[in-house]
Amino acid sequence: MTHPPLGRRLGVLGAAALVLLSSSCGLSGTTTGSSPDGAAGACGAPAGNADDKPISGEVKGEIKFVTQGLKADFAGFFEPLIKKFETEHPGTTVKWEDSPADATDARMIADAANCALADVINAPLPTMKALTDAGALMAIDKKLPGVGAAFVPSVWDSSALGKDGAHTALPWYWGPQILTYNKKIFKEAGLDPAKPPATMREYFDAARQIAEKAPKGTTAFWGNPRWQLIPDWHGMKVKAMNDDLSAFTFADDPNAQAWFQGYADGYRNGAISKDSITGEPDPSQTYIQGKLAFGSTNASFLRTVKDNAPTVYEETGVAPAPREPGARTFLNAQFITVNKSTKHPAAALEFAKYVTSPESQLAWAKDPKVVIFPTTAESLKDPFFATPSDGGPFGEARAVAAKEALDAEAWLPAIYLDNSAIANAVLGQLQLAMQGKVSAAEAIKAAQDEANKLLKTIKS
């Protein structure tokens, strides 16, 4: 796996899933002592779970903890972690269950429909947003005052999903985007390997020069930008949607227009391999062969390069991902939340806080089987990131990514942009522009029109 560690997992609930999740949580009904929004009330939420008062009561009882795609590889980390929590809180039992990453949405729909959501839930931002809108989650910052102080400020501030800025989920692990590039190809193209592109416009300019001057058979960047669409647009400060997220607006944004044009030009001038635009979005194998100037934006991919192409590895440069001045790093994270209907709120909240604590996040980041980055500021400042033992490109990448993580933010338009149908609509039009069948201007306008039609279906 050379994509962002543990899978991309930003994911998004499809149109049917959003509708089913909202309706199945019981938005139309309330019960005595239930939450005012009715969602948790229909599942019998205790009255104290829905108010804005700090949680009280003993940390005890049996709680269910559901993660996505972790148990197969990381039982050795989480089982002792859970045992330690249980030991520190006598009378508490944590039952850990795990779902495949691609089955999370279906499980959430079924569990919500049957009032069977786990007490503590791990899911990506879109799922958290849907559960929040359905009224199924606690306002964790209200129940645990000060809980946000441990997180990177920009991460915490941008992760408020609930009404009036309430935080219904705690940020967890993720992988910042970085820039990886072949310094040998840079030199052959007359580019300075010590000065990699800092913005996407510089990136496209460098790609054009590589196409013109690098040896035959060399290309600059990958033609299927499925993994790059969201981080590129966020880094370019694209106004992707209006303020209330009710419509896409990117067709009028000059930065989005430049992105479309950059890919269209790259295809025509040879900066992009023609057989890469409809293939997998993973550039790793071509990069390993020494035929691609820009590699994966994921730090963990460099392990694969080191193991399979040591010569290319030694020629690999690492830098922050290109973005406009003032743009923050895009946060593509997993989150932890607490079901508003839990019968053991003190235990569920304390466990959610425990799993996402600086100590727990740093301990998992140090697991040799994974390349992840914490969302807690204290963890990211640990020498493990600042002075990694591997002094090569992989070590450099970890240090760069950790520094980038200290200035990250969630981006709510990503919830909708990463919907498979919407992303395919945008990228399908981009392919037409790359192939010269329509202009970039025509393609971006058609992409927005298609995306807005799909958005209406999702929100209906």
pLDDT in tens, 77-101: 999 999 999 999 999 999 999 998 8
Give per-residue pLDDT as tens, 352-363.
Answer: 999 999 999 999
With both helix axes pointing from N to C terminus, report the angle between 15-24 and 104-113 in degrees, rounded to the nearest 10.
Answer: 30
Provide mean pLDDT across the span 37-53. 74
Q: What is the pLDDT of residue 37?
A: 45
Helix (H) or strand (E) holding 92: strand 92-99
d(C-alpha 426, C-alpha 265), whole Å: 17
d(C-alpha 163, C-alpha 36), whole Å: 12
Helix (H, G, I), strand (E, B) or coil at 381: coil
Residue 35's pLDDT band (cuts 50, 70, 90): very low
Provide mean pLDDT across the span 273-302. 94
pLDDT higher than 50, residue 34: no
d(C-alpha 166, C-alpha 128), whole Å: 13
Q: What is the pLDDT of residue 350?
A: 98
pLDDT higher than 60, residue 263: yes
d(C-alpha 388, C-alpha 368), whole Å: 13
**Residue from 331, 342, 380 nearest 156 by CA:** 331
Provide mean pLDDT across the span 186-199. 98
User: What Å distances lie between residue 233 and 227, 322, 402, 413, 425, CA to CA?
Assistant: 11, 11, 21, 10, 16
**What is the average pLDDT score of the chain?**
90
pLDDT higher than 60, residue 5: no
Amino acid at 345: P
Predicted model pTM: 0.90
Residue 322's pLDDT band (cuts 50, 70, 90): very high
Contacts of residue 194, Cβ cutoff 8 Å, sequence gap at least 6: none
Higher-confidence position of 15 and 55: 55
Q: What is the pLDDT of residue 46?
A: 86
Residue 237's pLDDT band (cuts 50, 70, 90): very high
Torsion sign, CA atoms 78, 84, 87, 92? negative
Q: What is the pLDDT of residue 24?
A: 47
User: What Å distances lie between residue 422 and 81, 132, 227, 429, CA to CA?
Assistant: 39, 22, 14, 11
**Residue from 73, 440, 29 nearest 257 by CA:** 440
Residue 153's pLDDT band (cuts 50, 70, 90): very high
Higher-confidence position of 25 and 248: 248
Query: Which tokens in the block code for residue 69?
Result: 């795609």
d(C-alpha 455, C-alpha 460), whole Å: 8
Q: 219 - beta bridge partners? A: 292
**Residue from 232, 221, 226, 231 nearest 278 by CA:** 226
Provide mean pLDDT across the span 280-297. 96
Q: What is the pLDDT of residue 108?
A: 81
Query: Which tokens in the block code for residue 384?
Result: 């493990």
d(C-alpha 48, C-alpha 225), whole Å: 46
Q: What number of other Cβ atoms are within 10 A of residue 97's Cβ?
A: 11
